[in-house]
Amino acid sequence: MADYQAPLRDIRFVLNEVFDAPTLWASLPKVAENVDPETADAILEEAGKIAGGVLAPLNREADEQGCKWNEGEVSTPEGFREAYQTIVEGGWNGLGGNPEFGGMGMPKTLVAQFEEMIQGANMAFGLAPMLTAGACLALDAHGSQALKEKYLPNLYPGTWSGAMDLTEPHAGTDLGIIRTRAEPNDDGSYNVTGTKIFITWGEHDMAENIIHLVLAKLPDAPKGPKGISLFLVPKFLVNEDGSLGERNTLACGSIEKKMGIKASATCVMNFDGARGWLVGEPNKGLAAMFTMMNYERLGVGIQGIGAAEASLQSAREYALERLQSRAPTGVQEQDKAADPIIVHPDVRRMLLTMKGYVEGGRAFSTYVAQWLDVAKYAEDDERRQHGEAMVALLTPVAKAFLTDRGLDACVIGQQVFGGHGFIREWGQEQLVRDVRITQIYEGANGIQALDLMGRKVVANGGRFFELFAEDVGAFIEANQNDAALRPYLEPLAASLERLADVTESVVEASAENPNEVGAASVDYLDLFGLTALAYMWARIVKAAAPKAEGDTSGFYSGKLKTARFYFDRMLPKTVSLAEGIRSGSASMMALTAEEF
């Protein structure tokens, strides 16, 4: 299997040439204070070295070893503690953090590229800094000044790590029925009692302390999601001088035996009157948690891209070296017993499909990250609100579409290897197992589709969708005279019109029949995702076309040819998706429960 190498040239191309991120950063004063093109490039270079040189070599052996649980303590695979120290020493946990408390203040457009490299190299490990960054984001946005001053300066460097404790054995998507309770104390703290499951890196041996952000209900809380509060519950209590005190009354009851990401600890956490502190307002815990959800859900989508990139790298190398049969057009390698399998059309179909998803997906995740930066940092209210609306609309697409296609790409990569793809030593089966979870955690993809269709489209009559349609339409209008782009603009416009037509039809139909939202949602998200990636590929063509002539490396010409494949062979799927949506919910809801 090919050794994972950070795709730095592709990342720089998307960041600098497709989206001109430095111009965006310069327009956001709080971002411009912390980053310039030279700093960004140095960060990417160093991140690539860590991903390829430190984390990727640990990936397979760590999967073999897994984490070990012993009487509440969790030990990590060999090399993880040292790798974590590398992350700590470089300050990588705080890359996007608030500089007031020791973070580096980098924009999400840059942080997203770092995340892809880390996740592509070693997803199980990459979850640790990802969860800490999410905890920091929620605490920085909603915690009191005292909590931020006490915890963030140790969380950003990674001296302490973070965990998010939401799910309970009986409450996954429906968090309104959680049973974890928080009883107030006279000193302003709370005693938190309950059990949480599926807590990623809830216990481990890499950091000095683990800071849990726990959803729980106060004694007088309203029923349902409006009665949920958020609490900070540390593994070790923190003294007034910042030193660690006694062990809190929480423990890891067990770790799960899982299909994939075996090198990460997925914990059952038991809280037995553990002392915690309220984050944000009482009964507003979900709002506080959703502050970081847009970032985390994009991060999970990026995991899908990272795994798919790793699979593509390996499949490409294998296709160039594996000799099987002769090309349909005749012998290509006269001095060999057979030709490399990359000469065969079906192998090319597989590799090009992977490239279409990976490179288009990378552009889309960067596009969403740009809107996150606008929503967070823009000083003009109208611009910031525009960014917030785009983030709300695009986040479920980024999470679900990129992870669905991430699994697709990894399965295709495994298929390129044939029988060897089913064997552990080649690495492809691990990628399939690891990426599978991305479709489930941080909100299962069916729920993401419901969120997109129900809350982000139908609930506001398509108003958020119109913002996206206007952005794509403006690009099409502005580039009518670009000869290189012209062949792509008509099919892009047709796909956008198809999406707009379906959007309108579902909005209208759902007014009479609420089942129309759920019946349409998954196909609608796929239709939206394919159209969004077509937009990304059109932007890639615009950036690459002027540099393709005379490009001896094949980098830019390869982009143009992959774009052509995407528009010819992948985008037409939108036609069948639209027809399925238009058929409505009748056949889906016709069977009685017994008839299943």
pLDDT digit string, tens, across residues 60-103: 999 999 999 999 999 999 999 999 999 999 999 999 999 999 99
* Distance, C-alpha 585 to centroid of its chain: 30
Instruction: Give the start-to-end residue ranges of the domains of the chain.
Output: 444-587
| Tally of CA atoms within 13 A in the half-sphere of 10 that contains its CB | 23
pLDDT interval class at 290 (50, 70, 90): confident
CA gap 322, 429 in Å, rounded: 18
Residue whose tokens read 């302490």:
160
pLDDT interval class at 240 (50, 70, 90): very high
Quick one: pLDDT at residue 550? 84
Percent helix, strand, coil in the chain, to 5, is 60, 10, 25
CA gap 313, 324 in Å, rounded: 20
Q: Give CA separation, 449 vs 87, 217, 443, 516, 519, in Å.
A: 34, 28, 10, 13, 10
pLDDT digit string, tens, across residues 181-194: 999 999 999 999 99
For 291, residues 6+ apart whose C-beta sits below 8 A from its C-beta are 137, 138, 141, 142
CA gap 232, 163 in Å, rounded: 10
Partner residues linked to 109 by β-bridges:
none
For 540, residues 6+ apart whose C-beta sits below 8 A from its C-beta are 14, 18, 359, 360, 363, 559, 563
CA gap 74, 267 in Å, rounded: 9
Query: Residues 399, 405, 411, CA angle at the centre, nearest 5°?
Result: 135
For 556, residues 6+ apart whose C-beta sits below 8 A from its C-beta are 544, 545, 547, 548
Neighbours of 96 (CB within 10 A): 25
What crossing angle do the helices spanning 285-321 and 108-121 adopt, rounded to 10°? 50
Handedness of CA 520, 526, 529, 531 (dihedral sign): negative
Quick one: pLDDT at residue 488? 98
Amino acid at 506: V
Quick one: pLDDT at residue 287? 85
Amino acid at 546: P
Handedness of CA 121, 129, 254, 75 (dihedral sign): positive
10, 48 Cβ separation under 8 angstroms: no
Nearest Cα to Cα of residue 121 among 60, 65, 189: 60
Nearest Cα to Cα of residue 248 among 214, 218, 199: 214
As given in the structure block, the two tokens for residue 510 are: 């759902």
Residue whose tokens read 């029949």:
513
For 341, residues 6+ apart whose C-beta sits below 8 A from its C-beta are 318, 319, 322, 323, 324, 325, 347, 416
Summary mean pLDDT of the chain: 96
What global pTM score does this model have? 0.97
291, 95 Cβ separation under 8 angstroms: no
Quick one: pLDDT at residue 23? 97
What average pLDDT does the segment 306-328 reach?
Answer: 97
Q: Which residues are catalytic?
A: 442
What average pLDDT does the segment 213-232 reach?
Answer: 95
10 Å CB burial of residue 82 (0-12, 13-18, 19+) is exposed
DSSP category for residue 242: S
Please say if the pLDDT value at position 1 is more than 70: no
The end-to-end CA distance of the chain, in Å, is 43
DSSP category for residue 195: E
Please say if the pLDDT value at position 496 is more than 80: yes
CA gap 99, 377 in Å, rounded: 14
pLDDT digit string, tens, across residues 398-442: 999 999 999 999 999 999 999 999 999 999 999 999 999 999 999
Quick one: pLDDT at residue 173? 79
Q: Are strands 160-165 and 266-279 parallel, antiparallel or unpaired?
A: unpaired
Q: For 69-83, 201-215, 280-294, 404-418, which range has the lowest pLDDT when averaged over its residues?
A: 280-294
Q: Give CA separation, 457 vs 52, 301, 371, in Å.
A: 40, 20, 18
Handedness of CA 321, 325, 329, 331 (dihedral sign): positive
What average pLDDT does the segment 352-380 reach?
Answer: 98
Q: Are strands 236-238 and 244-247 parallel, antiparallel or unpaired?
A: antiparallel
CA gap 379, 324 in Å, rounded: 59
What average pLDDT does the segment 278-304 reach?
Answer: 91
Q: Are strands 209-216 and 160-165 parallel, antiparallel or unpaired?
A: parallel
pLDDT digit string, tens, across residues 431-485: 999 999 999 999 999 999 999 999 999 999 999 999 999 999 999 999 999 999 9
543 in helix, strand or coil?
helix
Amino acid at 434: D
Quick one: pLDDT at residue 176? 79
pLDDT digit string, tens, across residues 135-161: 999 999 999 999 999 999 999 999 999
